[in-house]
């Protein structure tokens, strides 16, 4: 509402910067600083979908296998050298092709 009142056409209808606007902006800044500080104090755990189901580590090079699951490239390559089944479903893998999961990689890098 304060923002809308600042857009009044006549100057006398607009709130004063010193007595009305500045105190509210300072209070908003204080609240934002408290929120930022409380977030930085929380240890951020990695999301579960960043973890390779084989190696149990955050993936550096996520790839989608034929079973539709995403794995760390090195871990799934090692797995498919000796197995023809999915490590997640225990069903036969129709092929051993791996596709890079760029969307997940981007999310991991941003995190």
Instruction: CATH number of the domain at 81, please.
Output: 3.30.40.10
| Domain identity same for 33 and 85 | no
Confidence at residue 42, expressed as pLDDT on a 0 to 100 scale: 60
| Domain identity same for 52 and 102 | yes
| Domain identity same for 57 and 14 | no
Mean pLDDT of 6-22: 91
Greater confidence (41 vs 106) lies with 106
Mind listing the pLDDT tens digit for each residue in 37-96?
876 666 567 888 999 999 999 999 999 999 999 999 999 999 999 999 999 999 999 999
Confidence at residue 100, expressed as pLDDT on a 0 to 100 scale: 97
What are residue 99's DSSP bridge partners? 64
What are residue 70's DSSP bridge partners? 64
Q: What is the domain range of residue 36?
A: 2-44
Confidence at residue 38, expressed as pLDDT on a 0 to 100 scale: 77
Give the separation between CA 78 and CA 55, rounded to whole angstroms.
Answer: 11
Looking at the structure of the chain, the number of domains it has is 2
Greater confidence (103 vs 47) lies with 103
| CA-based nearest residue to 103, from 52, 49, 57, 55 | 49
| Domain identity same for 59 and 103 | yes
| Domain identity same for 54 and 106 | yes
Give the separation between CA 96 and CA 71, rounded to whole angstroms.
Answer: 13
Burial (Cβ within 10 Å: 0-12, 13-18, ≥19) of residue 78: middle
| Domain identity same for 14 and 28 | yes
Give the predicted TM-score (pTM) of the model.
0.59
């Amino acid at each position: 509402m304060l923002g809308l009142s600042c857009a009044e056409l006549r100057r006398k209808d607009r709130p004063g910067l010193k007595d009305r606007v500045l105190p509210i902006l300072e209070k908003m800044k204080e609240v934002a600083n408290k929120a930022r500080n409380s977030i930085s104090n929380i240890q951020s755990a990695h999301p579960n979908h960043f973890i390779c189901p084989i190696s149990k580590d955050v993936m550096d090079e996520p790839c989608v296998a034929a079973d539709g699951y995403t794995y760390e490239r090195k871990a799934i390559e090692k797995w498919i050298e000796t197995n023809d089944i999915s490590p997640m479903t225990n069903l036969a893998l129709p092929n051993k092709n791996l596709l890079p999961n760029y969307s997940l990689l981007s999310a991991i890098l941003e995190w």
